[in-house]
Amino acid sequence: MIRLTDIHFRDPFILPVPMENTYYMYGTQGTTAWDGKPDGFDVYRSCDLLNWEGPIPVFRPDPGFWSDHYWAPEVHHVQDRFYMFASFKAKGMSRAVQVLVANHPLGPFEQHSLGPITPKAWECLDGTLYMENDGTPWLVFCRDWLQVTDGEVYAAKLADTLDRIVSEPQLLFRASEAPWVKPNTDGGFVTDGPFLHRMDNGRLLLLWSSQGEQGFTTGIARSVSGRIIGPWVQEELPLAVEDGGHGMLFRDWYNNLLLAIHAPNHQPNERPTILRVEESAESLEIK
């Protein structure tokens, strides 16, 4: 068994599976996130969020698979299958979101979409699945600041089969719209790690990360309409400010709302971090 403080993982995504009494934590291999050749994707599993078993390989590319770099896998349970939305990159090809699928959280995950589902000429990353109240599936993703300088967040409708987008991507917001965001050392504004959360009172929030006063920061945008199309307004104060980000929310066996991020944001010290969160009347607060 291993503790979170000993797991070198970025972009943690935790999937609770109550019928197995098990939490599955997916993420980016920390040792090869920026340099070296990653193997693919791994998972850790736990019954109590304290003691973890792993890493367990869940995706290893077949010979000829187009990508040679792998980031930020998310796994969503839809009907009776498990869908992984992840970021891929290869020399001479744009960074893109592709969908994998498996019959169990431990995989093995195999290609579901026929290659990337984000626009071919765009540099895209960190795709997440969002199901609108009417059951329509949406892909929400970032367009990289390296291509557009002011990073962007988009939404596009997905086919019911979750293997392609079926609408033109719609711009939700740009990074510089948030009052807490600061430019990075290259003058760009980062968008990273979008994740949607519907509050008990019906408000629709979007967590995302960028550069702030104290390093990597996780902030919140709110949909005025309560729908994915927005319009979206940025909360003045971010949620998590001390050099931690790429956040997602999940509930434990006791219905506590928890935030998973990696912190700090520099290699080789990144570690998964789990924080208790509560809903206020308007937004979220770390407790």
Instruction: Tell me which residue range forms the domain holding 89.
Output: 4-286
Residue 147 phi/psi, 5-degree rounding, is -100, -35
Alpha-carbon gap, residue 54 to 48, rounded angstroms? 14
Q: pTM value?
A: 0.97
> How far, CA to CA in Å, does 53 sit from each of 8, 37, 200, 205, 225?
13, 23, 33, 32, 42
Q: What is the pLDDT of residue 43?
A: 98
As for how many domains the chain has, the answer is 1
> How far, CA to CA in Å, does 139 sit from each of 17, 31, 85, 118, 165?
22, 28, 9, 9, 7
Please report, as a single letter, which amino acid is at residue 219.
G
Q: What is the pLDDT of residue 236?
A: 97
Q: What is the pLDDT of residue 34?
A: 83
Q: Locate 259 and state its tokens.
A: 């935030």
Residues of the chain with pLDDT under 50: none
Q: What is the pLDDT of residue 108?
A: 98
> How far, CA to CA in Å, does 55 sit from each of 1, 3, 27?
10, 12, 10
Q: What is the pLDDT of residue 37?
A: 84
CATH number, domain at 77?
Answer: 2.115.10.20
